[in-house]
Amino acid sequence: MKTEAIAVEKFLTESPEKLVVDVRSPIEFQKGHMPGALNIPLFEDLERAEIGTLYKAKGREDAIMRGLEIVSPKLTEFITKTKKNTGKKGVLVYCFRGGMRSNSFGWLLNTAGLKAVIMEGGYKAYRKHVLKKFEEDYRLILLGGATGSGKTEILKQLKNEIPVIDLEGLANHKGSAFGGIGQPAQLPQQQFEHNLFNELCKIDPSGKLLIEDESMSIGYNKIPYPFWLQMKQAVIIKIILPFDLRVNRLVNEYGKEDVEKLKQSVKNISQQLGPNNAKDCLQWLDEGKLADVAAVTLRYYDKAYEYNHTKNKEQEIICVETDTADPIINAEKVKRIFTEYGKH
């Protein structure tokens, strides 16, 4: 019952034109999967656990027989769901190791007239391939600047003009104690890595790439270590925006958010702010004095930002002073430096 298997590289090359089906259990899929994959689990979470327990207690044959018992009533549903989503594109299937689950599902689809192939080595091989990508050499240029400088807006302005990856956008987090407010829930770490891998695959590896200057952790997502090490060696284009404009930007950005969430974020960094500053910020939030809160928190983040840069004196920093928060104007200044850097 062997189904044709192809290497992960070919699987990925063909995936944009075909339906990708992940036949692992929902809990495995949720932890991490190929972006765009459709989950049609051969076994639900409890069913997979039952078979695993049976395999350990009574052996392979008993586990296989119980698996067949569970799967048999679902066969028509598997074919119907696949046909509904595939059209005439063909189907690519993977499980965890490229073993019995994907082989069985692929055999079923081929029997039903749907041309299906599986990933050699399965999700495990895919993960290895993803992690290897972060070890490649990239020509990174970082967009830096103190909190409130509008770096994300600049990246958004430039994304259709130069190679850009928005790490905070991939992480659904803006990086500070307030960074999760107003954002979708963060994805599991493996899924964050897969989404970053997908973005890197779109980039010409011989060309320059602009990303935001980040710490290793963005919320609870972490930038893959080999990639982050390269970031720490990259040149930084540092936006220098006047303090009052940064305060105004933060007020506009967070002014409509839930006050209780803002209070919780203040409490999360109360030790760093100092007890008196934290107490004042909580009171000002009740009074609607958002500019005062922004000013106090900015001073804390400014100190942290400068401290991080003084620790790493090897990085070249190109300062870009601006007197406007207009992302279009500031993006043009950044683009000019990005384009010219490294030509001479």
Residue numbers annotated as active site: 95
Q: Which residues of 245-272 are buried (b: 16+ CB within 10 A; e: fewer)?
A: bbbebbbebbeeeeeeebbebbeebbee
Q: Which residues partner with 141 through β-bridges? A: 210, 235
CA-to-CA separations, 103 to 108, 127, 146, 244, in angstroms, rounded: 9, 19, 52, 62
Measure the CA–CA gap between 149 and 301, rounded to whole angstroms: 12
Q: Which residues partner with 140 through β-bridges? A: 209
Structure tokens at 22: 């992940």
Measure the CA–CA gap between 250 and 98, rounded to whole angstroms: 49
Structure tokens at 300: 């804390």
CA-to-CA separations, 56 to 23, 69, 281, 283, in angstroms, rounded: 22, 18, 57, 59
Measure the CA–CA gap between 256 and 250, rounded to whole angstroms: 11
Hunting for tokens 């992690």 — which residue is that?
Answer: 131
Q: Which residues of 195-223 are buried (b: 16+ CB within 10 A; e: fewer)?
A: bbbbbbeeeeeeebbbbbbbeeebbebeb
